[in-house]
Amino acid sequence: MHSERHILSAFDRDLESVQAMILKMSGLVEDAILDAARALDTRDDELAEKVRRGDKAIDALEEQVNHECARLIALRSPTAGDLRVVLSVMKIAGILERCGDYAKNMAKRSMIVSQANPVAGASGAIRRMARAVQVMLHDALDAFVARDVERAAEIRVRDADVDQMYNALFREFLTHMMEDPRNITACMHLHFIAKNIERMGDHATGVAEQVIYLVTGDMPEEARPKGDVTSLAPGMAE
Amino acid sequence: MNDMNLTERAVQAAEAKMIARGVNVHYGDTHALKDVNVDLLDRTVTAFIGPSGCGKSTFLRCLNRMNDTVASARVTGEIRLDGEDIYDRRVDPVQLRAKVGMVFQKPNPFPKSIYDNVAYGPRIHGLTRNKAELDAVVESSLRRAALWDEVKDRLLSPGTGLSGGQQQRLCIARAVATAPEVLLMDEPCSALDPIATAQVEELIDELRSQFSVVIVTHSMQQAARVSQRTAFFHLGHLVEFGDTSQIFTNPRDPRTESYITGRIG
């Protein structure tokens, strides 16, 4: 990748501004993930409501990124590394927007869960899982800024940990629901929250893959390690 | 809307039409081209790009021995057309240039009629036996250059009276009339408006079904649009040569990247 400047300095400014936009987006999404998990853990409906409302700003940023990237392509005809910057920025913006939606969904469910009896240990475990995913996302954006392929590759591997956490929670919720059917409502919502976080982990690896594409020009070939086994284990998912 | 196939980008022929090995060019003391090796494929458009003075036009002019006309120029190395060394003493440069035609940056029609401009090459090379055959060559050449419909009613008026874009297409018709096997184009669109440029580009795409086209251009977008293979020259070196889509999405050499993305290289 190039640290050299374009002869046309406005081109540099445009490329920098769209990248700054996804960094800002990522900041908002990371906060939303942590806040949603904290709202769940502390039964703070006000904070959950704040997360729910905050998603609008993330959506607006994505639209702005798409608009600016379209303009950049039309006016500047980016090629090679510049083209890959624009393409990866658009993809990452789409990924972050999706993560924002998941965080918003977590917040909505947390407002329902807070009405039910607490499920022992669940919200703390979810909060740790959310924290792990937020760090993955943060590191993926750091790798993007640093154009660091190795760090990006390492994030892809880390997603297996999140999948493990999800698998453990899945089993736990199943046990709680079998023990006492009154837990079902809360556990169903908690399960969806955990699944949302697990999906965000996948999206964080999607960002990492964009970093690899941005730097090398190729998408990573080998399949990343899969940790979510709930759909494979017989007797578990039924 | 149901056709998901993108524009045919694939190179249609695998065999090399012209092969250059270890080509060096000196102008007096200036070493203008340094050890260039290139295979130009048959029925393929190859674009040469690079900053001014990088050697791309010099190399283009080697391909039909136009540098012979420059007194200070010295060409070494080997250039083969269909396996035959074009710098061999037995090769007649005039005959060579009938096979390897050229279109220049500025339209340069002869101060003759449109008809005579196109008929000139076939006449001097004795390619036709009678007026009817010559008429047919003139018509088909003008048609291939997408100019026939615009000039068929005024073939005897001077070529210089046409618009710039028409003049350039007339020069292409003139180059095509000798049935060349390779067509060299040195910035053929730099003096044309966007419409005429698009017409010439469309024409180049059609011509590649019949022969190999080499185009020197300063417009990166033009190289990306018309060529299947791109060669990047810098300071007399051939830096990178590959599929056009690869050069423009993922160049291997940082100098290529610097140049095509508009950075100082």
Backbone angles phi, psi at A14, to 5 degrees: -65, -45
Shortest distance, CA B249 to any CA of chain A (angstroms): 4
Contact assignment for A6 to B261 by CB distance below 8 Å: yes
In a domain, B97, yes or no: no
Residue A113: other Cβ atoms inside 10 A: 26
Which range among A218-232, B94-108, B150-164 shows the weakest confidence by mean pLDDT? A218-232
Does residue B172 share a domain with residue B200? no
What's the CA gap between B232 and A42, in Å, rounded?
Answer: 62
**Per-residue pLDDT averaged across A27-55, rounded?**
97
Contact assignment for A2 to B251 by CB distance below 8 Å: no
Does residue B67 share a domain with residue B20? yes
pLDDT at position B264: 66
In a domain, B259, yes or no: yes
Structurally, how many domains does chain B consist of? Answer: 2
Sort residue A77 into left (φ over 0), alpha (ψ -120 to 50) or beta: left
What's the CA gap between B175 and B97, in Å, rounded?
Answer: 10
In a domain, B55, yes or no: yes
Quote the CATH superfamily of domain A2-232.
Answer: Phosphate transport system protein phou homolog 2; domain 2 (1.20.58.220)
**What are the tens digits of pLDDT across the range A83-122?**
999 999 999 999 999 999 999 999 999 999 999 888 888 9
In a domain, B242, yes or no: yes
Does residue B198 share a domain with residue B259? yes
Does residue B60 share a domain with residue B34? yes
Which one of B221, B224, B257 has the shortest CB-CB distance to A2?
B257
Domain at B187, CATH number: 3.40.50.300
Interface test with A, best of B220, B263, B264 (most A CBs within 10 A): B263
pTM assigned to the model: 0.80
Does residue B154 share a domain with residue B185? no
User: How many residues does this entry show for chain A?
Assistant: 238
Does residue B193 share a domain with residue B167? no
What's the CA gap between A218 and B198, in Å, rounded?
Answer: 32
pLDDT tops 80 at residue B224: yes
* Domain stops at, among B149, B180, B211: B180
Q: How far is CA A147 from CA A85, A91, A210, in A?
A: 10, 16, 10
What residue type is A165 in one-letter code? M
* Domain stops at, among B180, B195, B220: B180
pLDDT tops 70 at residue B5: no
pLDDT tops 70 at residue B21: yes
Residue B177: other Cβ atoms inside 10 A: 28
What the block records as the tokens of A17 is 């501004």
What's the CA gap between B188 and B179, in Å, rounded?
Answer: 19
**What are the tens digits of pLDDT across the range B153-178?**
999 999 999 998 899 999 999 999 99
Contact assignment for A6 to B262 by CB distance below 8 Å: yes
- Complex ipTM, two decimals? 0.71
What's the CA gap between B188 and B185, in Å, rounded?
Answer: 6
In a domain, B198, yes or no: yes
- Chain B contacts to A (CB-CB under 8 A): 220-221, 224, 248-251, 254, 256-258, 260-265
Contact assignment for B260 to A78 by CB distance below 8 Å: no
Set of chain B residues whose Cβ sits within 8 Å of the Cβ of A6:
261-263
How many pairs of residues across A and B have Cβ atoms under 8 Å apart?
45
Does residue B161 share a domain with residue B130? yes
What's the CA gap between B128 and B137, in Å, rounded?
Answer: 8
Does residue B255 share a domain with residue B190? yes
pLDDT at position A111: 95
**What are the tens digits of pLDDT across the range B57-80?**
999 999 999 988 888 999 999 999
Question: B88: helix, coil or strand?
Answer: coil
Does residue B246 share a domain with residue B185? yes
Backbone angles phi, psi at B84, to 5 degrees: -100, 130
pLDDT at position A235: 47
In a domain, B52, yes or no: yes
A29: confidence class by pLDDT, cuts 50, 70, 90: very high
Rg of chain B over all Cα atoms, to the nearest angstrom:
19
In a domain, B67, yes or no: yes
What residue type is B100 in one-letter code? V
Q: Provide the 8-state DSSP code for B6.
A: P
Report the percentage of chain A scoring pLDDT > 70: 92
- Chain A contacts to B (CB-CB under 8 A): 2, 4-8, 11, 77-84, 217-218
What's the CA gap between B226 and B45, in Å, rounded?
Answer: 7
Question: What are the beta bridge partners of residue B45?
Answer: B213
Question: A126: helix, coil or strand?
Answer: helix
Q: Which domain holds residue B51?
A: 14-82+181-264
In a domain, B90, yes or no: no
pLDDT at position B2: 58
Which one of B257, B260, B262 has the shortest CB-CB distance to A8?
B262
Backbone angles phi, psi at B182, to 5 degrees: -135, 140
pLDDT at position A236: 47
Contact assignment for B250 to A82 by CB distance below 8 Å: no
pLDDT at position B207: 87
What's the CA gap between A110 and A107, in Å, rounded?
Answer: 5
Question: What are the beta bridge partners of residue B184?
Answer: B102, B214
Which ranges in A43-148 belong to alpha helices (H)?
45-76, 80-113, 122-146
